[in-house]
Amino acid sequence: MSGSFCILGLRHKNGRLCVKVEDMSKTAATSDLLQPKFAVVGAKEREKNHTVLQPIMTDLIAYGANVKQLHWNIFGPHFRSIHLQLDEIYADTLEAIDTVAERITQMGHSPNGTVAFVGENTEIKDVPEGFIKDTEVLLLAGQRTHELIGLIRSRMAEIEDVDTVTADILHAIVEKFEKHHWMIQAQRA
């Protein structure tokens, strides 16, 4: 068997569970079939959501990689507390990525989180390679978090009047990262 296949339904036959499978290569493209079923808004709103959310997801993925890079390479007297704090930030980043990706899917689009795509399209700058002193980690984490918040806020403005549900999702994400930024900056004082 080759090609794309889709499970069309389950039937109970003579006490056995049966699965009907259809070869999708002989029908319209899978994404074309999924789009109308997932999307609950009109075409204009669907497209605007995608143009706003895909770059946000891309930047969240790159930001998460930077947070882990800092987490793995920190050293200094405040290692443990910052190391653990970066784990908390990373967990919230993963949650935000998943929320945004699922919203993209709800709008009938396929989210793209491949390494190649993220590397080519993110606006988040990389943190340095190698071991980094704890005070420098706080500085870099603060800068990248501030950068992420600014990028999300600038894109969020484009969706406010188009889809209030997506806007609310982005408000919650920004609030979470603004809190992390505040906590990072408080440690630097």
DSSP string, 116-176: HHHHHH--SPPPPSS-EEHHHHHHHHHHHHHHHHHHHHHHHTTTTTT-HHHHHHHHHHHHH
Residues 119 and 27 in one domain: no
Amino acid 11: pLDDT: 45
Amino acid 5: pLDDT: 44
Asked if the model's pLDDT at residue 6 lies above 50, the reply is: no
Residues 91 and 31 in one domain: no
Residues 23 and 46 in one domain: no
Asked if the model's pLDDT at residue 76 lies above 50, the reply is: yes
Residues 86 and 177 in one domain: yes
Residues 31 and 122 in one domain: no
When divided into structural domains, the chain yields a total of 2
Residues 29 and 99 in one domain: no
pLDDT tens per residue across span 91-112: 999 999 999 999 999 998 999 9
Residues 82 and 119 in one domain: yes
Amino acid 42: pLDDT: 84
Asked if the model's pLDDT at residue 8 lies above 80, the reply is: no
pLDDT tens per residue across span 122-134: 999 999 999 999 9
Residues 103 and 171 in one domain: yes
User: What are the residues whose beta carbons fall under 8 Å from the beta carbon of 121, sequence distance 6 or more?
Assistant: 55, 58
Residues 108 and 91 in one domain: yes
For 132-160, letters b (16+ CB in 10 Å) and e give bebebbbebbbebbebbbebbeebbeebe
pLDDT tens per residue across span 142-167: 999 999 999 999 999 999 999 999 99
Q: Which domain holds residue 49?
A: 40-188
